[in-house]
Structure 1
Amino acid sequence: MNATERTPADLLSSALAADPARPLVTFYDDATGERVELSVATFANWVAKTANYLQGDLAAEPGDRLALLLPAHWQTAVWLLACSSVGVLAEVDGDPAAADLVVAGPDRLEAALACSGERVALALRPLGGRFPQPPAGFADYAVEVPGQGDRFAPFAPVDAGAAALAVGGEELTGAGIVARALADAEAAGLPQAPRVLSGLGYDTWQGLSYGLYAPLVTGGSVVLCRHLDRLGAEGMADRENSEKITFRAPLPH
Structure 2
Amino acid sequence: MTATDRTPADLLRSALATDPARPLVTFYDDATGERVELSVATFANWVAKTANLLQGEMGAEPGERVALLLPAHWQTAVWLLACSSVGAVAELGGDAGAADHVVAGPGRFEDGLACSGERVALSLAPLGRRFARVPDGYADYAVEVPGQGDVFRPYGPVDPESAALVVAGAELTGAEVVERARAGAAGLGLTGPGARLLSSLSYDTWEGVSAGLYGPLAAGGSVVLCRNLDRLGEDALARRVESERVTATAR
TM-score (norm 2): 0.98
1:109 alignment counterpart = 109
Flag as ranges the 4+ runs of structure 1 deviating above 6 A. none
Instruction: Report if aligned partners of 1:120, 1:138 keep a CA contact under 8 Å in 2.
Output: yes
Tell me whether 1:66 sits opposite 2:66 in the alignment.
Answer: yes
SS of equivalent to 2:137: coil
1:200 alignment counterpart = 201
**Mapping for residues 143-158 of structure 1, pairs under 5 Å:** 143-158=143-158
SS of equivalent to 1:166: strand
Tell me by how many angstroms 1:173 deviates. 0.5
1: CA distance between counterparts of 2:188 and 2:180?
12
* Deviations 1:10-30 (CA, angstroms, capped at 9, x unpaired): 010011111111110000000
1:233 alignment counterpart = 234
Tell me by how many angstroms 1:189 deviates. 4.0
2: CA distance between counterparts of 1:64 and 1:53?
15
1: CA distance between counterparts of 2:234 and 2:90?
35
Tell me by how many angstroms 1:89 deviates. 0.2
2: CA distance between counterparts of 1:190 and 1:211?
12
Which amino acid in the other structure matches residue 96 of structure 1? Answer: A
Give aligned pairs, total.
250
Instruction: Report if aligned partners of 2:188, 2:248 keep a CA contact under 8 Å in 1.
Output: no
Instruction: Report if aligned partners of 2:28, 2:226 keep a CA contact under 8 Å in 1.
Output: yes
SS of equivalent to 1:56: helix
Which amino acid in the other structure matches residue 121 of structure 2? Answer: A
SS of equivalent to 1:152: coil
TM-score (norm 1): 0.97
1: CA distance between counterparts of 2:131 and 2:113?
17
Instruction: Report if aligned partners of 1:191, 1:246 keep a CA contact under 8 Å in 2.
Output: no
2: CA distance between counterparts of 1:74 and 1:128?
10
Which amino acid in the other structure matches residue 235 of structure 1? Answer: A
Tell me by how many angstroms 1:3 deviates. 2.6
Which amino acid in the other structure matches residue 206 of structure 1? Answer: E
2:30 alignment counterpart = 30
* Deviations 1:215-236 (CA, angstroms, capped at 9, x unpaired): 0000010000001111121111
Tell me by how many angstroms 1:190 deviates. 2.2
Tell me by how many angstroms 1:106 deviates. 1.7
- Report % sequence identity: 71
Q: CA RMSD in A?
A: 0.8
